[in-house]
Amino acid sequence: MKIMFMGTPEFAVPSLEKLINSRHEVISVVCQPDKPKGRSKTPIAPPTKVVAEKYLIPVLQPQKIKTEEFHDEVKSIKPDLIAVVAYGKILPKDILEFPKYKCINVHASILPKYRGAAPINWSIVRGETETGVTTMLMDEGMDTGDILLIEKVKIAADQNSNELANKLSEVGPELLLKTIDLVEKDEITPIKQNDEEATYAPLMRKEDGKIDWNKSAEEINNLIRGMQPWPNAYTTLDGKNLKIFKAEIKEGNGKPGEIALAGKESLKVATGKNLLEIKELQIEGSKRMNIEDFQRGRKLEEGAVFGT
């Protein structure tokens, strides 16, 4: 069938490539407009646009999709189905209802849990041990459409959100193609979501990454793992912001936020429950480094307190 693909970030690329290399035809790719990056503010193309141009597939980058102009564009392209993977906007009703086989979305959670923009991050922050990928028929709500297929994935105890995203981006393409083939053959029955079981994963804010040392080491470690690549888990030290990228939970206790053990190759901080051994960090004005290199330069002492 003829497919319009709507997706923007790197997470969507494997799904796009899977469809391009399938028996189906990707006739158009829709993504967010190029965004300026760096000091030079040079416009950078979204990853899906780069892939589309490689395969000579037409690209659309509308500023707004709730317009007559975009509706006419879709109508002229005449897709049989629209596949959506991390596009970044909710589709209007006229677009949802236009294709013969409707619009199918790939969402990185086990719906109805973690509806919203950042399901991968929040599933880790909230201590989940399992997540997955769901394909669904899209409606006008935020990830509220009928479920088509689900594949579950375990979350490893030391896995961060970047690593989990990479894993789910491998699962998503296979599930999407399987879903499309079953929909085309009318061999799949959509299942309504139970709204009473729904949880939400909103866009992350910078303040979401702030560490509360009164929480347990487990909760703080989940925050560290889940707040990557942005805003990252952070605290303060001597009036400077300090980001923590990797840590381990250790037994012990002490005053929350206080350095309980400081050595050449170890830095353990007390929390509300147990200790947190910091492995990788970055202080304001410096680069990211492991604890050995950090201690070689700053030599933190026991008794110093984070977050003050």
Binned at pLDDT 50, 70 and 90, residue 245 comes out as: very high
**Angle CA 240–241–247, to nearest 5:** 125
What percent of the chain stands above pLDDT 70?
100
Q: What percent of the chain has pLDDT over 90?
A: 92
Q: Tell me what pLDDT residue 151 has.
A: 98
At residue 5, does pLDDT exceed 80? yes
* Domain positions in the chain: 2-197, 206-298
Q: Which CATH code for domain 206-298? A: 3.10.25.10
Which CATH homologous superfamily contains domain 2-197? Formyl transferase, N-terminal domain (3.40.50.170)
pLDDT in tens, 81-137: 999 999 989 999 999 999 999 999 999 999 999 999 999 999 999 999 999 999 999
Residue-wise pLDDT tens digits, 257-294: 999 999 888 899 999 999 999 999 999 999 999 999 99
Using one digit for the tens of pLDDT, what is the confidence trace for 72-81? 999 999 999 9
Going by pLDDT thresholds of 50, 70 and 90, the confidence category of residue 299 is: confident
Domain 2-197 and domain 206-298, same fold? Reply is no
Q: Would you state the pLDDT for residue 49?
A: 98
